[in-house]
Amino acid sequence: MNTYIKRPFALIGFSLLFSAITIFFIPFETHFYAAVLLIAVCAVLCLAKPFSAKYLLIFTCCFIVSSLSLGYFYNCVYYPSLALDSQLVHIEGTADGYSSADENCSYIKIKNCEINGKKTSLCIDLYYYSDIEISPYDTVSVDATVYADDLSGKFEAHKLSEKVWLTAFASDRISVQKNDSFHIYSCIINLSAALKEILFTYLPYNSASIAAALLLGDKSLVPSEFTENFRYSGVSHIFAVSGMHLSLWSALLFIVLRKHSKTKFIPNIIASLFVVFYIALTGFSPSVIRAGIMLLCVYLSRVIRRRADTLNSLGLAITLILIHNPLMAGNVSFLLSLLATAAICFASSEITSDITPYNFEDNYIKGKFKSITGSILTTLTVLFFTIPVSGFFFGCISLVSPISNLLCSLPAQFAMISSFLGIIVSPFPTIARYIFFIADFCISYITDITGKLAQADFTLIPVTATYITVWYVFCVISVLLTYFFFGKKLKRCVTVLLCCCVLVITAGIVNQFISRNDINVYIPQGENAPVCISASMGANTILIGCSEDYKAIQGVNSFMYMNASRSADYLFVTDEKTTTEEFNETVKIISPENIITVNETFGNAALITNSFTAEIQDNFYLSFENNKVFSVVYFEINSYKFVYCLNPFANYTALEAQCKNADYLICTRNIPDTINAENYKNIIVISPKSAVELSLPENAVSTADGEIRIRLKGD
């Protein structure tokens, strides 16, 4: 009987992936029972049909390995580090790159950290107020207050996979011990910095930052405006260095070497070394590592005169990555790269292999038709494969993604090639300027196209968990019925799947149209939590009440991101004690366009001396009353009335009639004695104490017990 497994690494890799994903969604207490159940089923199958149990046995081993490694990480590394939240600790670690300065604040990522003298495997984002320049592998020592990042919900495994979930703010000057020893990776980082300097010398800042992202994978310098446009138009993957970039450079190098070499050995070995070098140059991102391992399989298989199997190479990449870091199974970049690769392989073999339905006499027209049609179908297939991850993590997908990819992929490749050639000829400024002009033109074209597409109606459509589940059930039933009626004609099954993809997009458009006037109200957990009000898919976003509370602002930023909101349209600063410098540094991540404040010393922000009344958008009215007696915000959204009392000790007996009865009452610290709580249907108290400690009525909740989300349906 045949016991041969055709693609063993594919089986092991995907088994590890599915095991780790399953473990993320089930309690750790059930892991032991799940493993025992799998072992029992394997034992029964081995006795009944020995060879049929081999696949389940491999999955069981992968499940046990993933469970043990993830259990160790959570119990011995992650949970102990959370106990440091909001504490002042002593940190000592190694710089992972060059420090970057932003106005008065500098930033550095440090690794191999010792916290209070105890070694950890953590990386920490350190912010400090100093002009000290830090280089790679310098030893950094500082006393700082650390905060655990907001890891609740969908992005927990993603952030943990990068080993950076603590953010530190230096409380004093930092001590830096310069690195005197030789490190190969330090040389690579220095080379990356030198290449960026050349780009910024010959290109305008915006074009140079995008060229650096295309060539080196450094997206930290790209302005947020362009980042959001790329995300909205669905071309962010072009600027995340992955298989496309690595394949392009290694293929060009291989072609040049092959023409000047008499054997296949040298070109393949040098191309393999270049792949390893480029992975290090771009910062070891998950998508590049995945692509690099697959390319190494291709080049090394030629050396031993074998043919690499794409699916098996993908499985080997998954296996090596997950063995090194099982948390990568929850990394968004890794999952999107993996699924996109699987989709491209599937499309090239099953969809675009024979897609010319017309008998063109002109071979040129026939070739162009096949190329364009294949590009569109491949993009749809990639969209079909990646919708679950995009919908789960981001809550939305880009509707214009097929169009924007078709328009931007080729110019992005020209921009990469011309930027690289410009760097090579940079010692000759006259020639370099002409070449960089081509790169600047291509990048300007991309930014213009994505900017226009990002502003279009229905650019993003919401995708909920229920939506994904229903879609998958529908797709599975459709494919099974197609297979039953048409047998093994896979192309017809593929046609059904692509039709399902179109149905998903259509349903999303309808849902977006129906929910266009929906409003989301969000209050993060904490004692200084602001009230965030955002229209459907981020059309308008208003923040009421804000402070230097880092975790509260971080929660608001995550909410805005998930709600497709670019920035806050209005920010109402209600705390008179707020200081301009600290506050500006804290709220920078939400990028408020208009700041309205009660503080006379708050920079150039508009000042509320007595009252503020405005219609922010249709069916959204806001008024702000500020005087020596009390401060109160009243806003009405889609006929739902909110009253926000800012001062817990003020006398609110003089409230206007419209504020004495509302659907929601929001208070700080406690419910003021001068307010009749019975007049309000729901009460929210922003306080460090729980509802039990505050003795709140049954219709009241406290932000100390968790974040609060309210969705108000529009017309």
- Beta carbons of 120 and 81 less than 8 angstroms apart: yes
pLDDT at 1: 44
Place of tokens 């063995």: 323
Determine the average pLDDT of the residues in 663-678: 84
Nearest-CA neighbor of 220 among 285, 174, 158? Answer: 285
pLDDT greater than 70 at residue 172: yes
C-alpha to C-alpha distance for 331 and 521, rounded to whole angstroms: 28
- Of the pLDDT bands very low, low, confident and very high (cuts 50, 70, 90), residue 451 is confident
Who has greater pLDDT, 554 or 112? Answer: 112
pLDDT at 513: 54
Q: What percentage of the chain has pLDDT greater than the value 90? A: 3
Q: Would you kindly state where each structural domain of the chain is located, as residue ranges?
A: 8-80, 84-181, 186-347+417-460, 360-399+464-513, 519-712
> C-alpha distances in angstroms, 101 versus 129, 304, 548, 651?
9, 49, 20, 46
C-alpha to C-alpha distance for 275 and 296, rounded to whole angstroms: 7
pLDDT at 438: 92
pLDDT greater than 80 at residue 413: yes
For 655, the token pair is 């409230």
pLDDT greater than 90 at residue 220: no
pLDDT at 358: 46
Place of tokens 């923040």: 543
pLDDT at 440: 92
> Can you list the alpha helix ranges (DSSP code H) found in 138-264?
156-161, 184-202, 205-216, 224-233, 243-259
C-alpha to C-alpha distance for 468 and 79, rounded to whole angstroms: 31
pLDDT greater than 70 at residue 363: no
Among 104-113, 332-341, 430-439, 577-586, whose mean pLDDT is lowest? 577-586
pLDDT at 443: 92
Determine the average pLDDT of the residues in 9-30: 81
Determine the average pLDDT of the residues in 452-457: 75
* Parallel/antiparallel/unpaired status of strands 662-668 and 680-686: parallel
pLDDT at 646: 77
> C-alpha distances in angstroms, 651 versus 135, 404, 609, 655, 661?
56, 57, 19, 9, 17
Q: How many CB atoms lie within 10 A of CB 593?
A: 11
Determine the average pLDDT of the residues in 373-396: 73
For 587, the token pair is 């709220």
Helix (H, G, I), strand (E, B) or coil at 299: helix
C-alpha to C-alpha distance for 165 and 167, rounded to whole angstroms: 7
Q: What percentage of the chain has pLDDT greater than the value 70? A: 73
C-alpha to C-alpha distance for 51 and 44, rounded to whole angstroms: 12
pLDDT at 584: 61
- Of the pLDDT bands very low, low, confident and very high (cuts 50, 70, 90), residue 190 is confident
Who has greater pLDDT, 694 or 510? Answer: 694
DSSP at 75: I
- Beta carbons of 60 and 39 less than 8 angstroms apart: yes
pLDDT greater than 60 at residue 491: no
Helix (H, G, I), strand (E, B) or coil at 655: coil
pLDDT greater than 70 at residue 597: no
- Beta carbons of 677 and 685 less than 8 angstroms apart: no
pLDDT greater than 70 at residue 203: yes
If you average pLDDT over every residue of the chain, what do you get? 77
Determine the average pLDDT of the residues in 410-421: 88
According to DSSP, the residues that pair with 542 across neighbouring strands are: 533, 570
- Beta carbons of 408 and 449 less than 8 angstroms apart: yes
pLDDT at 445: 92
| Radius of gyration (C-alpha) of the chain in whole angstroms | 28
pLDDT digits (tens, 9 = 90+) for 278-321: 888 887 888 888 888 888 888 888 877 777 788 888 888 999 99
> Can you list the alpha helix ranges (DSSP code H) found in 455-547?
465-486, 490-514
- pTM for the whole thing? 0.76
DSSP secondary structure string for all residues of 365-419: HHHHHHHHHHHHHHHHHHHHHHHHHHHHHHSEEETTHHHHHHHHHHHHHHHHHHH
Who has greater pLDDT, 526 or 672? Answer: 672
pLDDT at 579: 57
**Most confident among 109-113, 170-174, 388-392, 629-633 (mean pLDDT):** 109-113
pLDDT greater than 50 at residue 587: yes
Determine the average pLDDT of the residues in 695-714: 83
- Of the pLDDT bands very low, low, confident and very high (cuts 50, 70, 90), residue 216 is confident
pLDDT at 348: 64
Among 16-25, 280-289, 623-632, whose mean pLDDT is lowest? 623-632
C-alpha to C-alpha distance for 367 and 81, rounded to whole angstroms: 58
C-alpha to C-alpha distance for 17 and 190, rounded to whole angstroms: 35
pLDDT at 384: 73
- Of the pLDDT bands very low, low, confident and very high (cuts 50, 70, 90), residue 615 is low
C-alpha to C-alpha distance for 488 and 443, rounded to whole angstroms: 45
Taking phi over 0 as left and psi of -120 to 50 as alpha, with beta for the rest, 395 belongs to: left
pLDDT greater than 90 at residue 441: yes
Who has greater pLDDT, 318 or 651? Answer: 318
pLDDT greater than 70 at residue 2: no
For 28, the token pair is 């750790």
pLDDT greater than 80 at residue 433: yes
pLDDT greater than 70 at residue 365: no
519-712 has which CATH code?
Answer: 3.60.15.10
- Of the pLDDT bands very low, low, confident and very high (cuts 50, 70, 90), residue 397 is confident
CATH topology of domain 84-181: OB fold (Dihydrolipoamide Acetyltransferase, E2P) (2.40.50)
pLDDT digits (tens, 9 = 90+) for 52-84: 667 778 888 888 888 888 888 888 888 888 888
- Beta carbons of 562 and 390 less than 8 angstroms apart: no
Phi and psi of 468, rounded to 5°? -65, -45
Helix (H, G, I), strand (E, B) or coil at 304: coil
pLDDT at 288: 86
Place of tokens 């219609």: 615
Who has greater pLDDT, 183 or 664? Answer: 664
